[in-house]
Structures are given as C-alpha cells and as structure tokens.
Structure 1
C-alpha cells in the first residue's frame, strides 16, 4: 500500500520532481534555517527554469512539512534544511528523469549505436514521440547528442570509458588553473563568501547527511563559479560542458559513491588563497585538487562496469 507522500510525489511531472529535488539540494547546500525565505524568482534563476514548476514544487514541499507559505510574504523553511534528510531521500533514489537515465545508461554501456532514429528509440523504450523529443532536446542542449537531417540523431563524444574519463580530468587540470591565472580573473566577494559557507558546512557535517548527487552538484557549483570568475567565456563554457558530461557518469554511480569530507576541505583552501589574492597558490592548489580526483576516480575502473 502506498503512502500519501508517495502518491503526492507520483502526481508531479518529471520536471516538477527535478525542480523539487533541486530546491531541497539547494536548501541543504546552503544549510537554511527555520524561517529562511525561498524566493520563487531566485530559485527559478538558479535552477534554470520558469517560476511555474518552482511554485508547484514549493507547494508540494508545503504538503511534506518542509516549507510553509504565507499568502502575503511567500515561502519559508518550516524546519532546518539539515533535518529534512528523510524527506529528501526519495527524490534522490532516482536522481533524474527515468527515460533520460535509461538512455544515458545504455549509451555508457555501449548498447546504443552512434547514429539512431527517433522511430527506433520510440520502439526500444516504448515512449511517445513527444516524451522522447523532450529528453533528446535536453541531451542536445547538454552537448552529447546532435540532430541529423530528418529524424536521426548522432551521439557526440562523451565520457564513456576510463580513458575518456582520464582525458576529461587532464583537460580540466589544464584549463581551470589557467582561468585562475587569467589577467581578467576577478572573484565576486559575495559569491566567494557563499561558496565558503556552503563548503564549510559540507566539511563540518554536511558530508554525513548529503547524498552523492547533492555533493556532486555542490562540487560543480564550486568549479563553475571559479571558472566564471576567470572572465574568459570559453573557459567558463568548457567547465560547464565538462560538468554536464561528468554528471552522466556520476549520476550513474550515485548510489555507490561515498561522501568525501576532504574534497570540501580542499575547496576551502583554494577559496582562502583566492580571498588572500594569492592566485598563484590558488591555481596550484586547484591543479593538485583535480589531479588528486583524477588519480582516485580514474583508477577505480569499476565506474564503467555496467549495472545489472
């Protein structure tokens, strides 16, 4: 027999479910307290969606007791974000759209050819054309699928092997420290303090309650923000693309990942160096940080072992 909470969750569309999950993840990353405001416009901007699914997600969180709504003032946390682990857990059991994950899983396991048609995909996954196109459009936006003439689609190079994973880390180790040393590098002080606060929370206790998907998103936010500070649009764009490609692998392995406190501590050391305007040290720490992650993850070759 399903609980009322499961029934309510099932009524959400995939987009609304994703937005609800990202609101929970954001609240937990920022360690929000009782009474902290959740502004719809700011959430929509951070998540990259319109206010409509954000409003639905917030109302859903009201039914779960995480958020309360004041008709005149908006939405606020009804309990501390660090105390909503049980509520958040079901949203991270499947960290994304099931069809998106299935196609990603099959591609990473080399069960899909480089070029395929919409008709073949519709038959294989037993979905409608509209549902399929919604997912394919997202994959195209993320840069790992390209539309061909007619109804065909071609997969672009992705991180689908140990060698490709290592290449991605070597690329990041080359461009991310370069961004810090760029003459146009300028850290936004407000953003820097926000990153510090979030990484400090993770290092002190958040790593014990945050799941692997949340930790990955916090990690992506850290690297993409520093890349943005470089003032170089190509570096910022490249880091965002690498994170999108890494997300496929990380989400696939989400349940197997163990939280890493030391990652947040390394992030804090890099931010401290930036705050002290010691960019040479910050770049060196960032390079060591990426190299350390490469050695730890790339050598764990079971990351590309297909799941049963």
Structure 2
C-alpha cells in the first residue's frame, strides 16, 4: 500500500485521472490475464493524448496490474476482476483538489454565475496556469464557458433536487425518442460488448465494482444507445447530461443492490433491441429512467452537504 501511494504521488492530476480511467475501463470490460491494452485505443476512449496514457500504464505496471513487453506493448498481468483492492484505493484517492473545491463551491452556490480568473486566483490562492488547466477541464465537461472578451460563466448545473428531477425528465423525453428515430442503427459488436459488460455486473460484478465504476458503466450504456440513434443532438445531449450528473454522483455513496437491478433492466432493453422490437425497447428505456428518477430524486439526501 505504501509503495503504491508513493508512486501515485509522482503522477500529475491528469496522469492520475487517466490511470483511474484505464482501471475502470479494464474492469468494466472484465479483461482477462494477458489481454492487450493498446495505447492508441485507450487514448481515443479516454479522450487524451498517448503521453499521459503511457505514463499511467507504466504506473499500473509498478502496481502489478499490467506488464510491459518492449516488443508488443502493455498487457493485463492479472484478471481485472482480481484487482478490487487496488481499484478501491485508486478510486478513493482524491481527484484534482482545485477542481473538487471549485465544483463543491459551485454546487453549494458559493460562487456566482460569472467569475474572473483574477478573482478565482485570489480566492483559491493558485497560479493562473494551474487555474486555467482546471477551467479548461471544466469547459470540456460542459459546465463553464469562457465569456467573449472577459471572464467565465457557469452553465446550468444539477445543483438541486429540482434540477436533478428536470434532468431525468429531459432524459426520459429524448432517450426513448432516439431509439424510435428512423436513423436508429445498431452496431452489433457494440451491442454484444454492452451485453457482456452488463451481464458481468448483474451476475456479481456489482459486488466488487465501486460506485464510480458502476456509474461509468451506466453512462456507457446510455451514451452508446444514444449514439445508435444517428441523431447528433440526442447523442451530444446525453453525453452532456452524464457529465453534469457525474459531479453529483461522484460525491455520493451508492447502494450496490440497486445496481444489479439496473443491469438487469439494461439487459432487457438490449434484448429488445437485438430482437428489433424498438417500440418495446423505447418503453423499457422510458420506464427504466422513470424508475431511477423516482428512486433518486425522492431520496433528497442526494444534495445533503458532503462530509
């Protein structure tokens, strides 16, 4: 434990986040001993360059999760389902502290809609380069935008029970519509991959996967179906909603049992899609989102102050 913590301290916040996402991806796909981890593919899926991916993979080598062959690249040194302890440590490590402080202050309404870099530098006692690095990440995630000429503006966020409910009502409107779109087209390879991952969760993966991993698997399911709609606006909207939900969901401890039920519902939706019964798939998807809305929104502790 001490050795891995010591190694992690040498990583930048970006490299730490990339290593965390590689671990999550490996466990979500239930990779086996010897499965290859292609740097270019990982960089594409995570949305970064190959440089931080390479550093992160070498970090995972030092933890015994991955091994490196100079001629062939990186491979799993053990099954992904057998690295639960390392994954738990990794996901319990804090994200970028400045990012979390700004996110927490915004969710708690301690920051105004419009801010300047000078004000934020004074408030958080950071350099302009450090602040801009975090603001760029926030801009990429869609919850802050640079204003023309001066300052930054926070975009609408899921920062209250009412906003959380609105987000579910919006998703219940657009996601089933995407399934019924005339341009809906299934990628059979992606369909089988989703089935395999959701089946793994339902059959016991939910017991070893942490809340972040479960949330990311949920996002992958919904974003993939939205992409199949063939409608760029639906696909972009679902991705943006997931990014906004991430800020709330990551702060909360989640019960594991409901995640098994969600995976079973996901499998039923995928089965209907595979059978070309899109009317049934859309109805199941709408019921699935409505069920999640009732369960989560009515449990108003979602927005209780974190401790």
What interval of TM-score do these two structures reach, taking the shorter chain for normalisation?
over 0.9
User: Counterparts of 1:63 and 1:14 in 2: how far apart (Å)?
Assistant: 18
Q: Which moved more, 1:167-176 or 1:82-91?
A: 82-91
1:102 maps to 2:101: yes
The answer to whether 1:85 aligns with 2:59 is no
Mapped pair 1:169 → 2:168 = yes
Distance in 2, Cα, partners of 1:94 & 1:235:
34
1:14 corresponds to 2:13? yes
On the 8 A contact 1:118/1:151 being kept in 2, the answer is: no
In the TM superposition, residue 148 of structure 1 has moved relative to its aligned partner by 2.2
1:179/1:95 CA distance change after superposition, 3 Å: farther
Aligned residue number for residue 235 of structure 2: 236
Q: Deviation digits for residues 127-168 of structure 1, max 9, x if unmatched?
A: 111111111111112221121245421111111000000000
Measured in 2, the distance between the counterparts of 1:28 and 1:5 equals 19
> Which residue does the alignment assign to 2:281?
282
4+ long deviations beyond 4 Å: none
Distance (Å, rounded) in 2 between the aligned partners of 1:215 and 1:95: 18
Partner of 1:221: 220
Instruction: Map 1:1-308 to 2 at 5 A.
Output: 3-94=2-93, 96-253=95-252, 256-259=253-256, 260-308=259-307
* Residues 200 and 264, structure 1, Cα contact 8 Å, conserved in 2: yes
Deviation at 1:119, TM superposition (A): 1.5
CA distance in 1, matches of 2:138, 2:290: 28
- Secondary structure of 1:146's counterpart equals strand
Give 3-state SS (helix, strand or coil) of 2:214's partner: helix
Q: Distance in 2 between matches of 1:214 and 1:165?
A: 21
Shift of 1:100: 1.2
Structure 2 gaps, min length 5: none
Asked if the contact 1:186–1:229 (Cα under 8 Å) also holds between the matched residues in 2, the reply is: yes
SS of alignment partner, residue 68 of structure 2: strand
Q: How many residues align?
A: 305
Shift of 1:289: 0.3
Structure 2 counterpart SS, 1:186: coil
Residues 41-63 of structure 1: CA deviation (Å, up to 9, x unaligned): 11111111111111111111111
Q: Please, which runs of 5 or more residues in structure 1 have no aligned partner?
A: none
TM-score, L = length of structure 2: 0.97
The whole-number CA distance in structure 2 between the counterparts of 1:3 and 1:220 is 33
Following TM superposition, by how much is the alpha carbon of 1:95 offset from its aligned partner in structure 2, in angstroms? 5.7
SS in 2 for 1:252: coil
* Residues 33 and 80 in structure 1, CA contact (< 8 A), matched pair in contact too: yes
